[in-house]
Structure 1
């Protein structure tokens, strides 16, 4: 979903207010990104819902921790539940291997 000013053409990117791929909520689809965009400061992360009927951000967050070597962490509020193993060149350590296929291709990019 893309939300834009009504006075701009749909193909114009300069007037975009929000692109939902930048805010993945609780679902990660093919082509979506997770982690920090260091150019814009945007942190894309997965977050649980408050409840089944309330889609606002809940207590659990899965995000990229940039302190030290980059690693994916699961947090419950401010408490870290898991995620001490950094990127090893193929995947984040301690996570199940995701085999490359035509739908999902995990890639790690650092724009430091």
Structure 2
């Protein structure tokens, strides 16, 4: 940012998506079981949205970091995740749906 290079060059992307593999075993801190690992990342010049996915045991936790002036209501994206995963599962695993019905 000190070089002001971002003012001269166009952004190469406007979203970053990262997958961070985490531990498969249960972790503890002072005897308390760790339930989730919510990832936090940084947003750089020109990046409107950073999505980081962190695995832990048999689950995925998502972290959304957004430029407030570009995506002022990032919570809307977060709220859409469960339904979109359900639609994705229906599209790519139809045999599971028909076997359960």
Fold match, TM over 0.5? no
Question: Which has a greater percent of strand?
Answer: 1
| TM-score normalised according to structure 2 size | 0.25
Question: Which has a greater percent of helix?
Answer: 2
Larger Rg computed on CA atoms: 2
